[in-house]
Amino acid sequence: MPYICIMKIVFATNNPNKLKEVRQLLPSIEIVSLQEIGCTENIPETANTLEGNAIIKANYITKNYGFDCFADDTGLEVEALNGAPGVFSARYAGKANSEKNMQKLLTELNDKLNKKAQFRTVVALNLKGKQHLFEGVCTGEILTKKHGEKGFGYDPIFKPTGFNQSFAQMTLEEKGTISHRGKAIKKLIDFLNII
């Protein structure tokens, strides 16, 4: 395993919830936000895969701002909907609105017995001129209504396998040990061998 010493790195996201989760997962590194490097523009996510969008975001920052960085893209893949909303999870109901996205998904699954779903995160890391991808998957099911107030996005309607709480009923730490993002970041940590 390589030992790569990095003290700080840019996380290419404008999502404060993702920042909070990743800072909790990577306490030994200073995670620098886009705001902190002066990047206020919305990076267009035009790919039709999670991998593609994670790469677009990481490459945008490295190319335009010159920083090593990592980016994540996440999708909720629902079995009865053939993997939808997947890469289109953010705008499933037309606009980037979590409440409307959840309501649409609950309506779509209303008459379906199969509620199986998984969150999948792809992290793209640009480091010292090379790119590395890490994937994390968390299987579970879509609940019939919202449970809990914590977290963000689809958290109130997603219950991970083996647990009887939704992500929105868990603490940041609990979610981080089992979540898609937690697993992808764990792979990044193992790659960097920093803990």
- Check residue 33 for interaction with ligand IMP (CB under 6 A): no
77 near ligand IMP, rule: CB under 6 A: no
Stretch that binds ligand IMP, among 22-30, 122-130, 150-158, 182-190 (CB under 6 A): 150-158
- Cross-strand partners of 122: 73, 135
Which one of 68, 73, 111, 155 is the catalytic residue?
Answer: 73
In order, the DSSP letters of 152-194 are STTGGGEEETT-SS-GGGS-HHHHHHHSHHHHHHHHHHHHHT-
Binding window for ligand IMP (CB under 6 A); candidates: 36-44, 58-66, 122-130, 145-153: 145-153
How crowded is the C-beta side of 6, counted as CA atoms within 13 Å?
24
Question: Per CB under 6 A, does 60 bind ligand IMP?
Answer: no
Q: How many residues bind ligand IMP (CB under 6 A)?
A: 16
Chain centroid, CA 124 distance in Å: 11
Among 181, 184, 188, 192, binds ligand IMP (CB under 6 A): 181
Task: Say how many residues make up the chain.
Answer: 195
CA distance 60 to 73: 14
By C-alpha distance, which of 22, 2, 4 is closest to 12?
22
Residue 165 interacting with ligand IMP (CB under 6 A):
no
**By the rule CB under 6 A, 69 interacts with ligand IMP:** no
Specify the residue, 5 or 135, whose C-beta has the smaller distance to ligand IMP.
Answer: 135
Q: Which of 98, 118, 166, 169 binds ligand IMP (CB under 6 A)?
A: 98
- Please report whether residue 101 would count as binding ligand IMP according to CB under 6 A: yes
Site for ligand IMP (CB under 6 A): which residue of 29, 57, 62, 73? 73
Choose between 74 and 169: whose C-beta lies nearer to ligand IMP.
74
Where b means 16+ CB within 10 Å and e means fewer, 148-179 reads bebbebbbbbbbbeeeeebbbbbebebbbebb
